[in-house]
Structure 1
Amino acid sequence: MRAGVRLRANTRRRAPALSNVKSLQCRECGSEYPVEPQYVCDFCFGPLEVSYDYDAVARVISRERITRGPLTMWRYHDLLPVDAEMALDMNTGFTPLTRARNLGRMLGLNNLYIKHVSENPTFSFKDRVVSVASAKALEFEFDTLACASTGNLAGSVSAHGAKAGMNTMVFFPSDLERGKILGAGIYGATLVAVDGTYDQVNRLCSELADNHRWAFVNINMRPFYSEGSKTLAYEVAEQLGWRAPDACVVPGASGSLFTKIWKGLNELADLGLIDSAAHTKMHIAQAEGCSPIVTAYDEDTPHVRPVTPDTIAKSLAIGNPADGYYSIKTIESSGGSAVAAPEEEVVEGIQLLAETEGIFTETAGGVVISGLRKLAKSGKIRPDDLTVAYITGNGLKTQEVVEPIIDPVFTTPAYEDFMTSMAAREETV
């Protein structure tokens, strides 16, 4: 860990106000605020989000304009709160949408697709949200980029901070997977391992954000940060030939990704870029050891009670999800559901996806595949539904969870020894 913060020069100029962004608006009372680094309503303490001038967007956006753009998330810049010229572009986005025929056959799903989001610079979907937040931080003339992280965000913030020439500080629970710590530290960030849960880390960072002029991407920059997740809706719709899927299965931690995919699909429909998103059912998958949104759904209440996480899916270990209430509202609006993956099935999900589609996912992906299997079995996803499962992180980040199931055949270089070893293995299978 670094003892101090390295000072770096930041020469980016402040961007002009965006014509397609009107204000920040409270999601509860509707109060409006200037486009500044703030995230809580002064009147009701509700969360703020970006409010767009959709009439202005409609005058310029089209399918043709989008397809002429770069093969990154920034092809959708008209629907993001950052001027295209200020984009911190690390070639994030436009990741593969793969037809999963083998897995679909096993689950009885005829139109299953995997949105392989981990093919990004730091191997998770977090690069999308951090691309927006870091560009906005430069616009606001911050010199320090920071975050509270369950793992993947730490690596992404560290990489983007390095690219932007900013000081970078990342805070995370001290029991984080080693691969994610190394993946953040290599970029020169100051690493802060906190003896506590993610929710405790987040409270510390909220206090720091109030007392230091640091751009915490998922705190004071959160209204802008969360908008980056919408690109996962835009890309899927475009890759499907400008249509919305019938069902989406999304991992749930804070719930922000889940709600923003739904928002993105509806934006496309409202702008006439797709016919409709009304038929899309949104399903959120959580690990059983940290499933407060699923519990609220099962109890038919919008009130999400905080829990203490106890799960191997550390990237989803948020016991007090900031967007839990809005996740329940998204489920209600879309006619979707929430599903919990038993802890013992998380690794099974990782293995199933790898063995059928050749995709190695981290624990969050194991949760998605386990949840997908339950949804298919229960009939909540029908055999012919056009279904998209979002795989948001690379399995190399959480290798330790699959170590117990990896069992090589050991042999000497001699042919006879190899044949003997293989025969012994076959007897034990």
Structure 2
Amino acid sequence: MDVKEIRNQFPILHQEVNGSPLVYLDSAATSQKPYKVIEAVEDYYRRYNSNVHRGVHTLGSLATDGYEGAREKVRSFIHAPSAREVVFTRGTTTAINTVAYSYGRANLQEGDEIVLTPMEHHSNIIPWQQAAKATGAALKYLPMKEDGTLSLEDVQNTITSNTKIVAVAHVSNVLGTINPIKEITRMAHEHGAVTVVDGAQSVPHMKVDVQELDCDFFAFSGHKMGGPTGIGVLYGKKKLLDKMEPVEFGGEMIDFVDLYDSTWKDIPWKFEGGTPVIAGAIGLGAAIDFLEDVGMENIEAHEAELAAYALERLKEVEGIHIYGPQKRAALVTFNVDDVHPHDAATVLDAEGIAVRAGHHCAQPLMKWLDVVATARASFYVYNTKEDIDALTDGLIKTKEYFGDVFA
């Protein structure tokens, strides 16, 4: 994989920030966009901007073909059995909320259990808190091992006949933990529970086959995989989506409207009320084209090498604490003794290095780690070992700077 050639396809990377070449290490928050995506969105707005599904004129047909063509690209990318099981949403958050509200509230009752993990993003905790409050169901949390991984024995012991939903991140956005979704799903199904997988941090970085995982619902966002913001995907098994009620009502999702009652379109369109994010879907389709051109196996191998190298280099910084397992996805979360992560991120930014600092929308996990906040460097297809070298040098300067300040 020619990383230099790949970097050339991302225009934003070719600039200086605060007088230094940009080193972008915040792809877990949002990825940068290649020319192919930018041009696809621009082409839609310049050449065939129109609403979808509603008109027979040429522009409307082109827009509909682009929108529905993107759905088929998503289906193929995640190996879903049917494009009708691919629902476009505003992102992972909307997708999980749709399941929690439509499926959860209709199928949960007092005495039922919703099983989560402490490593979940808030988007995979709060919707289930609200579903539990509305239905009387109880939340249960899988215990985590010291390195931030899950034990299948603990999973087996936690899921019971009362468990109705198991909602788990495929990859932790803080620890980089890659969870054994296939095995968790099997255990959930043995007790008649359904699984909801937050795939926001996995789909951009590794091959995902929802049929192999056998998960019931799978959610992810376009903007973390080179696509535009405002577009995401909910995959759901047809037998479940068919029985679910829409959560938004209005144009586009209806079949027939009378004065006193209405009926809905079939899936997936009954969940896509109103004018959809057409340009976003087309851009997401272009992002999938880009990733497939590079090859997901190549991306996964490249990022594994970067993650291992980052662990090795960062340990050279005196007083650094790295969180998460040795085998991880392409991110490293850390703290440096006597330096608040926000201060570290500010000093790094002065060197043109962009990292994330804070609780990363994972406050329960911060409590589990016994910290208020952390810094996080996350990598993608366009990052290099030189980026990690720059991060290491920047952290050494950070230590020196605060050492001098408080000397």
What TM-score, normalized by structure 2, do the two folds share? 0.32
Ranked by relative contact order (alpha carbons within 8 Å, sequence separation 6 or more), the top structure is: 2
What TM-score, normalized by structure 1, do the two folds share? 0.30
